[in-house]
A and B are shown apart, each in its own frame.
Chain A
Amino acid sequence: MISPRYAREIPQRYRLEAGRCTVCNAIYFPPRLICPNCKSKSFEEIKLNEEGTLLTFTIIRVGSEKFSKEVPYAVGIIELKDGVRLTAQLADCAVDKVEIGAKVKLVFRKIQEEGKWGLHCYGYKAILI
Chain B
Amino acid sequence: MIGIVGYGSYLPRYRIKVDQIAKQWGADPESIKRGLQLYEKTVPGLDEDTITISVEAAKYALKRARIDPQKIGAVYIGSESHPYAVKPSGTVLIDALGIGPHVHVASYEFACKAGTEAMFVAYSLVKASEMDYALGIGADTSQGAPGDALEYSASAGGSAFIMGKENVAAEILFTNSYTSDTPDFWRREGEFYPRHAGRFTGEPAYFKHILNAGKNLLEKSGMSPKDFKFAVFHMPNGKFPQEAGKKLGFTKEQLEAGWIVPWMGNTYSGSSPTGLSAILDLAKPNDKIFMVSFGSGAGSDGFIFQVTDEIEKVRSLAPKVKDMLDNNKIYLDYGEYAKFRRKIILNE
The yes or no answer to A116 lying at the interface (CB within 8 A) is: yes
Interface size class of A (residues with CB under 8 A): 20 to 34
Chain A residues within 8 Å of B330, by CB: 92-94
Which chain B residues numbered 71 to 103 have a C-beta less than 8 Å away from chain A? 83-84, 92, 95-98
Chain A residues within 8 Å of B13, by CB: 92, 127
Q: Which of B47, B49, B92 has the most CB of A within 10 A?
A: B47
Which chain A residues numbered 68 to 82 have a C-beta less than 8 Å away from chain B? 69-70
Chain A residues within 8 Å of B51, by CB: 110, 120, 122
User: Which residues on A are within 8 Å of B, measured CB to CB?
Assistant: 10, 14-15, 47, 69-70, 91-94, 107-111, 115-116, 120, 122, 125, 127
CB–CB B47/A110 < 8 A: yes
Chain A residues within 8 Å of B45, by CB: 91-92, 109
Which chain B residues numbered 16 to 65 have a C-beta less than 8 Å away from chain A? 45-49, 51-52, 55-56, 59
Q: How distant is the Cα of A16 from the Cα of B83 in the complex, in angstroms?
A: 23
* CB-CB under 8 A for A109 and B48, given A92-B14, A116-B348, A120-B83: yes
CB–CB A69/B47 < 8 A: no
The yes or no answer to B339 lying at the interface (CB within 8 A) is: yes
CB–CB B46/A108 < 8 A: no
Residue of B nearest to A116 (CB): B348
CB–CB B95/A91 < 8 A: no
* CB-CB under 8 A for A109 and B339, given A92-B13, A92-B330, A120-B84: no
Chain B residues within 8 Å of A108, by CB: 52, 55-56, 59, 96
CB–CB A14/B52 < 8 A: no
* CB-CB under 8 A for A122 and B339, given A92-B14, A92-B330: no
Q: Please pick, from A47, A110, A115, the residue contacting B348 in the complex, using a CB distance under 8 A.
A: A115
CB–CB A15/B46 < 8 A: no
Residue of B nearest to A108 (CB): B55
Q: How distant is the Cα of A56 from the Cα of B185 in the complex, in angstroms?
A: 49
CB–CB B95/A10 < 8 A: yes
CB–CB B95/A110 < 8 A: no
Chain A residues within 8 Å of B84, by CB: 120
Chain A residues within 8 Å of B346, by CB: 69
